[in-house]
Amino acid sequence: MTGPLALVGGGEFSEGCTFDAELLAAVGATEVTLLATGWAYENPQKSVTAAREWFAKLGATVREVPVYSRTDALDADNISAVANAKFLYLTGVSPMHIRSVLKDTPTYDAILSSWRGGAALVGSGAGADVLCDPMVDTRGGAFTVGLGLLPGVAVIARSDEWSPDKVRRTIDLASAGVVLLELPTCTAVIDDIGTGGWRVAGKGNVIVHRDGKLSDVSALPEAVG
| pLDDT tens figures, 116-163 | 999 999 999 999 999 999 999 998 999 999 999 999 999 999 999 999
What pLDDT is recorded for position 225? 61
What pLDDT is recorded for position 165? 95
Residues 135, 145: contact at Cβ < 8 Å?
yes
pTM of the model: 0.96
Q: Where are the beta strands (DSSP E) in the chain?
A: 5-8, 31-38, 61-64, 87-92, 120-125, 132-133, 135-137, 142-144, 150-151, 153-157, 179-183, 187-191, 198-202, 207-210, 213-215
Residues 121, 35: contact at Cβ < 8 Å?
no
Asked if pLDDT for residue 203 goes beyond 80, the answer is: yes
Asked if pLDDT for residue 26 goes beyond 70, the answer is: yes
Domains in the chain and their CATH numbers? 5-219 (3.40.50.880)
Band of pLDDT at residue 194, cut at 50, 70 and 90 = low
Band of pLDDT at residue 193, cut at 50, 70 and 90 = confident
What distance in Å separates the CA atoms of residue 190 and residue 169, rounded to the nearest whole number?
A: 26
